[in-house]
């Protein structure tokens, strides 16, 4: 699987690649995040900068003083500006600081504004303003951008694409940058709301299948269906819980790591969860035995080459 983003120039090529691969007896799918791809950053600590040499160079310098020295070097800045201007190279980030909003900073006059407008006010290149701000404030500079899937009409077309699996989240690996833990619920909300708008994307039954049986069948594992004799892995959702803002981010302790991570809390939505027939969540309360006793989850072997 490969990530599929909501870039209008990517979608036709993605369809062509999938069609060719499967026509040649392949079994190819794109993985699709069914919600706007929002990402947060502390200074330069974000995976977006791994996409080009100048950004990766800065990330490789862990010492803050050494990194600041690099960021102030004019030859480095010329290289950074060159990569920033190159919009045609392979990328996830749109490389537009005008779409990046400052959420937190010791200099409160910057909060709520984007880097491009602030740079224009000062008459400097936006890359220079960004790097200057990182040098001054380091990781205390907290900012936010959306890098894909924010055009709802295009997102609705992509979730119907038979070559895409409704999946993808790096939230567990980037605990301060992403919060997509509830992406299946966001997808169900997207489909349900389309029915309320009298322009259904697909049936709700089809949406549930896309999140469960379709993925299990493609991966070749015995899961995703409710059949007599199967493992009872079942989630019961209250549809009224989808009325809330599912994209809201909160902070929670990451147990045993002395860290805080970004999470999505969706009270009133997931009522009950059975894992292998055992209650894991009952009336929204996590069973105390979950994670401490055997008999809940297990690795599922593929019944064929996925």
- The pTM for the full model equals 0.87
Cβ atoms within 10 Å of 260's Cβ, excluding its own = 13
Share of the chain above pLDDT 70, in %: 95
Looking at residues 135-140, what average pLDDT do you find?
96
Per residue in 258-268, pLDDT tens? 889 999 999 99
Angle in degrees, 0-180, between the axes of helices 126-137 and 74-85, rounded to the nearest 10: 130
Looking at residues 79-104, what average pLDDT do you find?
91
C-alpha of 102 from chain center: 19
Q: How confident is the model at residue 11 (pLDDT cuts 50, 70, 90)?
A: low
Looking at residues 16-36, what average pLDDT do you find?
85
Coil, strand or helix at 273: strand
* Cβ atoms of residues 286 and 280 within 8 Å: yes
Confidence (pLDDT) at 6? 47
Confidence (pLDDT) at 87? 78
Coil, strand or helix at 22: helix
Per residue in 179-209, pLDDT tens? 999 999 999 999 999 999 999 999 999 999 9
Q: Where are the domains of the chain?
A: 38-146, 181-306
C-alpha of 10 from chain center: 18
Confidence (pLDDT) at 114? 98
* Cβ burial 170-184 (10 Å sphere, 16+ → b, else e): ebeebbbbbbbbbbb
Closest C-alpha to 134, from 147, 143, 145: 143
State how far the alpha carbon of 2 is from the alpha carbons of 13, 260, 286, in Å: 13, 29, 34
* Cβ atoms of residues 28 and 22 within 8 Å: yes
**Token output for 30:** 């794109």
Confidence (pLDDT) at 297? 80
Q: Identify which has the larger pLDDT, 75 or 296.
A: 75
Per residue in 40-73, pLDDT tens? 999 999 999 998 999 999 999 988 899 999 999 9
d(CA 32, CA 284): 28
* Cβ burial 62-101 (10 Å sphere, 16+ → b, else e): eeeeebbebbeeeebbebbbebbeeeeeebbbbbebebbb
* Cβ atoms of residues 147 and 33 within 8 Å: no
Summary count for the chain: helices (H), strands (E): 10, 12
Average pLDDT, the chain: 90
d(CA 282, CA 274): 9
29 burial via Cβ count (<10 Å: 0-12, 13-18, 19+): buried
**163 CB-near residues (< 8 Å, 6+ apart):** 14, 15, 18, 19, 22, 28, 29, 30
**Token output for 244:** 């809330």
């Amino acid at each position: 699987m490969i990530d599929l983003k909501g870039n209008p120039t990517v979608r036709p090529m993605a369809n062509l690649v999938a069609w060719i691969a499967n026509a040649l007896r392949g079994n190819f799918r794109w993985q699709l995040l069914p919600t706007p791809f929002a990402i947060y950053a502390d200074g330069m600590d974000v995976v977006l900068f791994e996409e080009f040499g100048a950004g990766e160079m800065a990330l490789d310098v862990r010492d803050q003083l050494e990194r600041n020295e690099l960021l102030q070097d004019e030859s480095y800045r010329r290289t950074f500006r060159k990569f920033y201007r190159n919009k045609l190279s392979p990328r996830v980030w749109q490389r537009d600081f005008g779409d990046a909003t400052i959420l937190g900073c010791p200099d409160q006059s910057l909060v709520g504004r984007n880097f491009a407008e602030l740079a224009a006010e000062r008459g400097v290149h936006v890359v220079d303003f960004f790097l200057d701000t990182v040098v001054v404030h380091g990781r205390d500079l907290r900012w936010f951008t959306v890098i894909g899937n924010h055009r709802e009409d295009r997102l609705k077309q992509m979730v119907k694409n038979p070559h895409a699996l409704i999946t993808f989240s790096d939230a567990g690996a980037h605990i301060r940058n992403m919060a997509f833990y509830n992406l299946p619920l966001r997808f169900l909300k997207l489909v349900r709301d389309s029915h309320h708008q009298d322009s259904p994307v697909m049936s709700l039954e089809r949406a549930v299948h896309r999140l469960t049986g379709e993925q299990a069948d493609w991966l070749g594992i015995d899961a995703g269906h409710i059949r007599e004799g199967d493992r009872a892995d079942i989630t019961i959702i209250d549809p009224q819980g989808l009325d809330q803002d599912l994209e809201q981010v909160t902070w929670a302790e990451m147990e045993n790591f002395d860290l805080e991570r970004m999470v999505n809390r969706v009270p009133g939505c997931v009522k009950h969860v059975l894992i292998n027939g055992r209650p894991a969540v009952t009336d929204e309360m996590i069973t105390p035995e979950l994670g401490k006793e055997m008999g809940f989850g297990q690795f599922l072997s593929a019944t064929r080459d996925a």
